[in-house]
Amino acid sequence: MAHQHGITRRDFIRWAVAAPIAASTLESFLPKLAGALQDAIKEYPIIWLQASTCSGCSVSVINTIHPSIKNVILEQVLPGHQLKLMYHGTLMAAAGELSLQAAREAAEKYRGKYVLVVEGAIPTKQNGIFGSLGEKEGKAISMLMWLDQLGRDAMATLAVGTCAAYGGLSAASPNPSGSKGVTDVYKMLNIATPVINIPGCPPHPDWFIGTVAKILLYGMPQPKELDDNGRLKLFYGRSIHSRCIYRDYLDLGIFASNFGQEGCLMELGCKGPFTNADCPVRLWNGSVNWCINAGGPCIGCTEPGFPDAHSPIYQRR
Ligand code: SF4
Ligand code: SF4
């Protein structure tokens, strides 16, 4: 059935699961998706908190192609449009205390109605002094304090990237800052706001845009739509290995023992059998290529425990 924005649930799911879709359908679908997102985003202010991050997740997400980030978010900040990306420390023109004031005001104005996007893990040791944003009366305001306030008052939280979802690189051993992912921090702080994880190092832009689109068009996911690690099954429902282009090599017992050699990459440490994501069918960089097709083993970047549980990265587990 077509929604008022003209997108059928079937078309959306086919796009989301990167299923083969006729070029003519895609051509009419993508502008509709961009338009629907613009309409829908008017109802949902976004506050984007960058914690302990390299900013790679932001860079990946703003490289979205279908629809472009301009369609999705940036056009909302043109004069005459209601500002909906209320705060993003890297993307917004304002800086320093002025930008942080925007985050505070948005959280106050849209209490209970905004989506909090968190990028990066959150340092928790020693009351979170290892990561701060701004200060109050001469004292640093920790990222932990920001998350406590912004997370508690949000309608939902999207943990973008493996650091925000599970701790990731920021929480790698020995983790002196006690960095943790959002779900663990919410447990620690008794925050009940629902969290959807969008892991990846970095996450594919479609995983972020698709998750946002799903929430805006059809509401929060039902528990059965998420896997045990809080990810949408639409994007993370199957292992890399299950759809890998090198499965034939594996079945024939042909393994690469050096980079550049023909064969399945298992001996070079490929974590595809233990990693869930749709990279083999979605591809990266505008559908140009992906890790294994470029000769690089999957390093399991979407999984809890990455990178420690997958180290040494280039050795067979
Ligand atoms: S390259 Fe990795 S994902 Fe592909 S078949 Fe071999 S082990 Fe599986
Ligand atoms: S193939 Fe593996 S390492 Fe590469 S982006 Fe996908 S999940 Fe991450």
Q: How many helices (H) and strands (E) does the chain have?
A: 12, 9
Span(s) in the chain for CATH 3.40.50.700: 9-235
299 lines ligand 2 (CB under 6 A): yes
Q: Tens digits of per-residue pLDDT, 169-218? A: 999 999 999 999 999 999 999 999 999 999 999 999 999 988 887 887 78
Instruction: Summarize pLDDT for 27-47 with one digit per residue, the tens.
Output: 666 667 666 665 554 557 889
CB neighbours (10 Å) of residue 147?
25
What is the CATH T-level fold of the domain 9-235, as seen in this structure?
A: Rossmann fold (3.40.50)
Start and end residues for every CATH 4.10.480.10 domain found in the chain: 238-317
The pLDDT of residue 87: 79
DSSP H or E segment with residue 25 = helix 23-41
CATH topology of domain 238-317: Cytochrome-c3 Hydrogenase; Chain A, domain 2 (4.10.480)
* 248-295: pLDDT as tens digits: 999 999 999 999 999 999 999 999 999 999 999 999 998 899 999 999
Output the residue whose Cα is nearest ligand 2's atom 2: 298
Give the closest ligand to the alpha carbon of residue 307.
2
- Residue 296: pLDDT above 50? yes
CB 106 within 8 A of CB 86: yes
> 56-60, 79-83, 216-220, 273-277: which has the highest mean pLDDT?
273-277
Q: Give the pLDDT confidence score for residue 19 in this predicted structure.
A: 61
Q: How confident is the model at residue 86 (pLDDT cuts 50, 70, 90)?
A: confident
- 208 CA → ligand 1 middle, Å: 25
DSSP label of 283: -
> Does the pLDDT at position 81 exceed 70?
no
pLDDT exceeds 60 at position 51? yes
CA of 148 to the centre of ligand 2 (A): 31
> Which ligand lies nearest to the CA atom of residue 275 in the structure?
2
